[in-house]
Amino acid sequence: MTGIADRIAETDRGKVRGTTQGEAISFRGIPYAASPVGELRFAPPQPHAGWSAVREAVHAGPAVPQAASRLEPVMGSRVPDWNEDGSLTVNVHTPLRAFEDSESCPVLVWWHGGGFSSGSGGWDWYDGGRLAALGDIVVVTANYRLGPLGYLYLPESGAANLGPQDQAAVLRWVRENIASFGGDPRNVTVGGQSAGAYSALSLALDPQTSGLVTRVLLQSGPFGLLPQDPRNAAENAEAYLRLLDVPDGADTAKALRALPVEQLLSAYGRLAGQLARPGNAAPPMYPVLGGPGVPRDLHRAVADGALEGKPLLIGTTRDEATAFTAFDPRIHNLTPVGALDLLTGQLGEQAHEVYERYAARLESPTATQVLTAVQTDELFRNDSLRIADHHAAGGNATYVYQFDYRPAEDEHGLGATHCADLPFLFNTFGAYPDSPMLGRPTDAVRALGHTFATAVAEFVTTGSVNDWLPYAPATAARIRHFG
């Protein structure tokens, strides 16, 4: 490794120069694959051609093409920064000491959420510099293709789970290159939040990538969402092609590659509108069962022992589903009958029993509050606990948390909503101005962030956490609460 003054690291495609910020060096916008344009749109990721001069890794690459997130009312809005060309990049944040000493640091490869439809590893929300310095770990974030560009299911045209294929390519890039940034390629935690947690678990379970993963961090994973059935994925793909007036046949991929990406995004938005149901968090396209990266059902893979031997840190926020209901006018004035109708579509004959159980548990609840509580558990908490129960029962190191922080000015009734833990992990409070889920970060709020981030960094480093008893199956007292 070169000296700290140079801030240069060498990858298998060329050298990159980072920038020092505080106690970390950040290398942003490093290509891990060729731009997915032209013949490479709707194709598996291909190697980047490389560069000869030192590449200035000062700015993150563009986000992958996407529409605005439906969680903007919760997290805050963003100025669009996407471009198909140059979008497949990684960002590496390294503690200064990793450039000063020869000892390698543990690595966290962390995936952003966004419902498989939005987000970017290069956004300031997920800047890993402070976490890297705090925990003495190397933090890697990355982009992966989203929406139709990442999850359109046309296997006969080569398009199948391209987003997961991008993520697997990132893990292989880390294995080959992270030592040059002070990271230990044999000590890699894969983690993420929401769709990113779903992705992290998939990578840890898939035989093609599980050997690249040492530990697993899962934040608010929607594990109640089963991988998309291939038949349903094919139906949605056909509906999408009809919206684009593209024939389904031998020339489908060629026709799709010829269209402006804006047209692809517009049609995806229309498809999402056609398929949308109040309270349903599933996007039109997401990882397909049996496709690359998802060879089998995630819960079946866990039950069959595919996660054995990998320490696990898993958790949820207390009020996950308010992010999807608080700003949805279709849900605000639900009657019990309306809420039951929505739950019946998800839970079948159990809907009435579940509704009554939650209504009895809450104090003078509205139908909307009951629906929100049910969906928090059914989509996020229950299956996270099932994964934790099984993993701990097998004697594996398992840590479970619940994030309980709610802003003091909670005018929308969000509570501790989905995504609320993100600024606390990365100490990026300033990146969320006027965000309803955060409110105004006081000294106490920042101290909570330090505690939460320290616990995560300790897990990434050792697979355990100081002063935190490992989880025991069905033992609520072993769940650590933050906030």
**Cα(286)–Cα(146) distance, integer angstroms:** 9
Q: Which helix (H) or strand (E) holds 199?
A: helix 195-205
Active site residue 210: no
**Cα(73)–Cα(328) distance, integer angstroms:** 10
Report whether 325 contacts 331 (CB < 8 A): yes
Residue 287's region, left for phi above 0, alpha for psi from -120 to 50, else beta, is beta
Question: Which segments within 153-254 are labelled E, that is strand?
Answer: 183-193, 215-219
Report whether 188 contacts 110 (CB < 8 A): no
Tokens of 72: 């903007």
Active site residue 194: yes
Type of residue at 318: R
Comparing CA positions, the residue from 348, 371, 345 lying closest to residue 358 is: 371
Residues 48, 84, 202, 320: which is the catalytic one?
320
Name the phi and psi angles at 229, rounded to 5. Answer: -65, 135
Tokens of 429: 């409070």
Residues 194, 199, 210, 220: which is the catalytic one?
194
**Cα(330)–Cα(139) distance, integer angstroms:** 40
Active site residue 418: yes
Report whether 324 contacts 376 (CB < 8 A): no
Residues 112, 299, 391, 418: which is the catalytic one?
418
Contacts of 4 (CB under 8 A, 6+ apart): 20, 25, 96, 99, 100
Tokens of 213: 């993963």
Would you give the distance in Å from CA 203 to the centre of its chain? 12
Q: Cite the active site residues.
A: 194, 320, 418
